[in-house]
Structure 1
Amino acid sequence: MKIKFLFSGLVLSGFLVFCPATMHAQQQEPDEITLTDVAFEEHFFEALKQKGIENYDKALQALQQCMELKPESPFLYNEVGKNQLALKHYTDAEAAFKKATELDPENRWYWQGLYDVYYAAQDWNRAIPVVQKLTKWRKEFYEEDLVSLYMYTSQFEKALALIDSLDESVGQSDKREMYRLQIMRQERFRKPKKEMLEEAIKKNPQEESNYLELIFLYSESNQEAKAEEVAKRLEKAIPDSDWAQVSLFKFHLNDNEGDKASESLFRVLQSEKIDLKIKHRAFNEFLIYVKNNPQYNNNLEEAISYFDDAQEINVPKEVGKFFYSKKDYERAATYFEKSLEAETDDIETVELLLYSFEASEQYKLLLEKAEYYLELYPIHSRLYYFAGFASNKLNQFKEAKAFLEDGLDFLVEDPELEAGFYNQLAIASEGLGDSKRSDSLKERAAKLLKQKKT
């Protein structure tokens, strides 16, 4: 009785649509009915158990015994399909799910199983009609998959039509937008789209989105002059369009029009409509421009101020890193100091600042700043190294020796830095007249570096 109770629960919660106690009752003796049903249930639950512990072959054996008793049960073929799919026997899984759909074509899950097979086998062409069938039950859910399948099979017209439909019914998505961009990179789609957008702009010159899409299409096909012309038309038609300035900013930079580029950049940075990522990208482009046009340093400073409240981006630090990578160490130091005004406890920026002073040979500043930050971070070994290095450069060998020996006490598993300490101690010892110790320290440093290489 317990087994039959459990089995009835499956009937209610799953997809089993028969009653073993009454099926074919007129053709069988009562004792045969009971024995058959009990045997069936035992085999079926054995199949479920074996599948649960991933013994798929044993599960299939149990299901075969079930099918000998109930050969036309679609749910049995569904279970066979699941086990064959788990074994990656795609042909057998396909056959099982197909049989299940033939026996019960209105059960969504049998079609889903068939789709799972085609998806696992990456058989996109055969997956498409199955997914089209599945849209009967969950239209927009499966249409999302259908877009991908059309893309995989290069059916771009169908994909684009479905993208437009979904954008209208459920709103845009990043994935569909990516697909749209891939499609629109093909010239056969661009030309009619451009013509359509030009006509749409004539009919409704106040619709900003048409200008933006047309600018993108021209830019993607390297027609920068036409893209710039559309951006200027947008600015004229909608003077308060912030998006027009995003495009115009790029064109002004390309034309080496620094003043106009600055004006457009500030419009972009002030806008509440434009995403922070786009603002940051525009700022980075301006930063590269200023590297070769230092007369716009003041404009760069003003642009940085727009990011003061951007918690996720430390713009002065990023600018400092940019100039540091270009070996413009003095400008790098300026921005690292500005960054530290906002984030005083950023030890990475402290080190970058000190490296900048070292590289630009500003040894007095290096010593001054190293000593200042040692007050804040008294166990940070690299600060002692900077202080010792700067003291050596200033011929203050006694002070250098004290800094370096103190710093060694806080050094933890950094062979390269440790070798640097010994080299600087060697210089300090030489400066203090202890050549023998100096030679010993140099040997020790060389040994550490050799070990690091091996």
Structure 2
Amino acid sequence: MFAQEQDSLAIAKNEVSKDDLGNVTDKFQTYFFEALKQKAIENYEKAISALEKCQNLRPDEPVVWFELGKNYKALEDYTQAANYLTRTLKAKPSDQQVLVELFDVYFQTQNYTEAIQIAKKLSSFDVNYYEDLANLYLLTKDYKNALEALDVIDKKQGPSEYRENLRRKIYVESDDEKGQIAYLENKIETDPDNKQNYLNLIYFYSQTGNVKQAYQVAQKLQQIHPEAAEAHLALYKIYTEEDKLEEAVNSMEIVLNSETISADIKQKVVKDFMVFVQKNPQFEGQLVNVLGEELNYGEQSNKQLAEYYIGKDNTKAIQYFEKALQENSSDFESIKKLLLLQIQEQKYKDALALSERTLAVYPTQPIIYLLQGVSFNNTEQYKKAEESLLTGLDFLIENPQMEADFYQQLIIALKALQKTEALKKYQQKAESLKK
């Protein structure tokens, strides 16, 4: 406590050296130091009490008003904080510290109109306040001024991803498609070598359903940057919609073979490729080749490959699900699908081993108990099947289809165990559920 008190006193002396108190009495200085010290250790009420004593001695002292404003703000008494800070600002209209504190008060109280006025003044000290102005104008639906504020900071600092997203949000909220197109086209004209500018316009046209325009921009990007695989992100979707199937497959393969396109984008393209092949099975060979390559792009690719082979080649599907679980052993969806495949392919011992491991991690999942019960029944371990199924039923909530499956498996187990009374009970439950 003594060390904390000494540190606080040092902070107080440091602060007071920055504030010209002028010719003050020893009593005023003592109270003022006490206020700064108490504020430093977050005793804001005591700080205010000391400052009020200062105010009694010198009622028109701006430095006292400023400190009162900061302490009331710390206590979240924003009305009093605004009162003292605005009084300080009248006495010191260009003081940056006062403006910063008052801006925070207005923002915290959602007084956006006043916050805008303060942010305008602060922007002369720090250009980053134009970003705050853009957000404030957006909140007050003053879209024109919001865009102008972004233009100012972009001109001084260059564009940023955050501001580009903010600009896009402004255009969406203001329903100004023409304005956004004009802005994006101007970006291409002023910086034609920047591939991202083309992609932004392609993305916009794609989102608004203007496929033809997106296609034209993608072609323009290809002409200027023939090596740009990014153009094919738009082209393959356009080719698909226009039933240009060979071109669509070619574009997808270019994207997936590119070294400049990120793995997460490639994953999305693979999903589109899988949907494409479901509608156009003649391209299945190309998809299998692509998926083989896709294994280099992350752990989810094994899962994608497994899901693709479900129903086509369950043995391969099982193999790839097992690989996927080696990479992410807690992926519940993969576990569930693998258990279903193991049962379908009559690999009951494997299913029992997997269900046992899974229940150690997910002890309240009824589907795992059901699949375990099925596996026990098919290996003639009827007593264990009964125990597993009854446990799973305890966790089941409002799922009539799964409930019926539980009863079906319980009936099999109870028949084998010759538990006549229990068998009748669950047969009646099954019949009641059907009705």
Q: Tell me the TM-score normalised to structure 1 length.
A: 0.73
Give the Cα–Cα distance (whole angstroms) in 2 for the partners of residues 230 and 120 of structure 1: 44
CA contact (8 A) 2:16 2:33 kept: no
Give the Cα–Cα distance (whole angstroms) in 1 for the partners of residues 19 and 37 of structure 2: 20
Which of 184, 202, 211 matches 1:224? 211
Give the Cα–Cα distance (whole angstroms) in 2 for the partners of residues 64 and 383 of structure 1: 69
Deviation of 1:247 (Å):
0.8
Which of 240, 245, 258 matches 2:232? 245
Which of 315, 320, 338 matches 1:338? 320
CA contact (8 A) 1:93 1:117 kept: yes
Tell me, what secondary structure is at the counterpart of 2:260?
coil
Moved more, 383-392 or 176-185: 383-392
Which of 302, 308, 317 matches 2:289? 302
Cα 1:419–1:63 shift into 2, 3 Å: farther
CA contact (8 A) 1:84 1:90 kept: yes
Give, as a single letter, the amino acid of the residue that structure 2 aligns with 1:152.
Answer: L
Cα 1:173–1:276 shift into 2, 3 Å: farther
1:12 has 2:14 as partner: yes
Give the Cα–Cα distance (whole angstroms) in 2 for the partners of residues 171 and 219 of structure 1: 26
1:120 has 2:103 as partner: no
Post-superposition Cα deviations, 1:35-69, rounded to whole Å, max 9, x if no partner, equal: 55445555x368638x92464xx654443221111
1:193 is matched with 183
Which of 139, 156, 164 matches 1:177? 164
Tell me, what secondary structure is at the counterpart of 1:225?
helix
Deviation of 1:422 (Å):
7.1
Cα 1:301–1:439 shift into 2, 3 Å: same
Post-superposition Cα deviations, 1:326-361, rounded to whole Å, max 9, x if no partner, equal: xx9625955454232353473632431222466xxx
Which of 137, 140, 146 matches 2:133? 146
Tell me, what secondary structure is at the counterpart of 2:295?
coil
Give the Cα–Cα distance (whole angstroms) in 1 for the partners of residues 204 and 405 of structure 2: 55
Post-superposition Cα deviations, 1:417-438, rounded to whole Å, max 9, x if no partner, equal: 9997775343134257x26155
1:315 has 2:301 as partner: yes
Give the Cα–Cα distance (whole angstroms) in 2 for the partners of residues 304 and 4 of structure 1: 67
CA contact (8 A) 1:4 1:41 kept: no
Give, as a single letter, the amino acid of the residue that structure 2 aligns with 1:315.
Answer: S
1:401 is matched with 382
Which of 63, 68, 81 matches 1:93? 81
Q: Tell me the TM-score normalised to structure 2 length.
A: 0.75
Tell me, what secondary structure is at the counterpart of 2:297?
coil
Which of 74, 91, 99 matches 1:111? 99
Give, as a single letter, the amino acid of the residue that structure 2 aligns with 1:10.
Answer: A
Deviation of 1:276 (Å):
2.5
Give, as a single letter, the amino acid of the residue that structure 2 aligns with 1:290.
Answer: V
TM-align CA RMSD: 4.2
Tell me, what secondary structure is at the counterpart of 2:137?
helix
Give, as a single letter, the amino acid of the residue that structure 1 aligns with 2:91.
Answer: L
Give the Cα–Cα distance (whole angstroms) in 1 for the partners of residues 130 and 18 of structure 2: 28
Which of 394, 409, 415 matches 1:424? 409
Give the Cα–Cα distance (whole angstroms) in 2 for the partners of residues 97 and 124 of structure 1: 17
CA contact (8 A) 2:369 2:392 kept: no
Cα 1:233–1:52 shift into 2, 3 Å: closer
Give the Cα–Cα distance (whole angstroms) in 1 for the partners of residues 338 and 405 of structure 2: 19
Give, as a single letter, the amino acid of the residue that structure 1 aligns with 2:329.
Answer: D
Deviation of 1:175 (Å):
2.5
Which of 246, 250, 272 matches 1:263? 250
Cα 1:288–1:78 shift into 2, 3 Å: farther
Tell me, what secondary structure is at the counterpart of 1:246?
helix
Tell me, what secondary structure is at the counterpart of 2:226?
coil
Q: Structure 1 stretches of 5 or more lacking a match?
A: 25-32, 450-454
Deviation of 1:114 (Å):
0.9
Deviation of 1:168 (Å):
5.8
Give the Cα–Cα distance (whole angstroms) in 1 for the partners of residues 392 and 16 of structure 2: 62
Cα 1:84–1:332 shift into 2, 3 Å: farther
Deviation of 1:228 (Å):
1.0
CA contact (8 A) 1:59 1:83 kept: yes
Cα 1:77–1:306 shift into 2, 3 Å: farther
Cα 1:39–1:87 shift into 2, 3 Å: closer
Give the Cα–Cα distance (whole angstroms) in 2 for the partners of residues 17 and 54 of structure 1: 19
Tell me, what secondary structure is at the counterpart of 2:19?
coil
Which of 313, 333, 351 matches 2:336? 351
Identity percentage of aligned residues:
25
Post-superposition Cα deviations, 1:1-37, rounded to whole Å, max 9, x if no partner, equal: xx999767524246752457xx16xxxxxxxx44554
Cα 1:200–1:224 shift into 2, 3 Å: farther
Q: Structure 2 stretches of 5 or more lacking a match?
A: 360-366, 397-401
Give, as a single letter, the amino acid of the residue that structure 1 aligns with 2:282.
Answer: Q
**Aligned positions, number:** 408
CA contact (8 A) 2:134 2:146 kept: yes
Deviation of 1:439 (Å):
1.7
Moved more, 71-80 or 88-97: 88-97
2:362 is matched with none
Deviation of 1:273 (Å):
1.7
Give the Cα–Cα distance (whole angstroms) in 2 for the partners of residues 440 and 192 of structure 1: 74
CA contact (8 A) 1:290 1:300 kept: yes
Give the Cα–Cα distance (whole angstroms) in 2 for the partners of residues 338 and 8 of structure 1: 66
Post-superposition Cα deviations, 1:204-229, rounded to whole Å, max 9, x if no partner, equal: 5x554453344344334432212212
Cα 1:443–1:85 shift into 2, 3 Å: farther
Cα 1:90–1:125 shift into 2, 3 Å: same
